[in-house]
Structure 1
Amino acid sequence: MSEYVQSIRDRIGNDFLLLPGVTAVVRDGERFLLARHAHSGLWSLIGGGVEPGEELAAALAREVLEETGAEVRVGGIIGAYGGEPMMVEYPNGDRVGYVSIAYECDLLTPAAPDMDELLELGWFERDAIAGLPRRHWIDRVIGDAG
């Protein structure tokens, strides 16, 4: 949790918080890079929160680096996502809703899970993604990625 979010949590506790986010759509041909998250055990795309004053592309590059150790080239915007599918309740009771901008990204260096936020990474074709325990909002993002 960032210092910024922690400062808000110190005042509001576990109450619902709406946060800006960014999402990386990393492809290798017809395969997409997904991460299995430690807090939920579900597969999703890689991403996270935007800090105050941070440019969106810089936030995405930072999040991918923190979670996978990989550097990325951030490309074009795929879409903007929010609403009920983007709401999460964390194990500590914190409730969050994300509004996230998804970007096409190219891996520049190898990726490996940080084993803190992410348990594993995997490359999956669209058909295989449908059978994974996952955050279902990623279906829309992957569909929009073409």
Structure 2
Amino acid sequence: MPEIKKFQVTFDCAEPERLARFWCEVLGYVVPPPPKGFDTWEDYTRSQLPEQRGSWFACVDPSGVGPRLYFQRVPEGKRVKNRVHLDVRVGTGLVGEERLAVLEAECARLVALGAVHVRTLYDGNDACIPMLDIEGNEFCVD
């Protein structure tokens, strides 16, 4: 049996810390402690060369189960549809109107954080809500 490996999900973005903090709110993730040798993230940032400041940020699942999310600044903006996206699973096991209500409530919470509601897909039994994060990356409330 092959060994199971840990992985992180990396986002290319314009504002790493801002996007990381958005996803902390979406997923209940937290900002990890600053790198070894620094008391705060501000201390760490001040130690970097000006052109490196704010070039990356990360967030983690406080339970240690979910993957680390890593956000890296890139010079180009988003141009095309994501080939991979996250599904925020809030309606697992629910069907019909009950599922739709839970997904719509989560959608409303995320819109208040700056996400964009793209559309609601509902067939009377199953539902999914495609959305955009604060930098236009696609994700679904599922």
With the shorter chain as reference, the TM-score category is under 0.3
Structure number with the bigger relative contact order (C-alpha 8 A, sep ≥ 6) is 1
TM-score of the two chains, using structure 2 as the length reference: 0.25
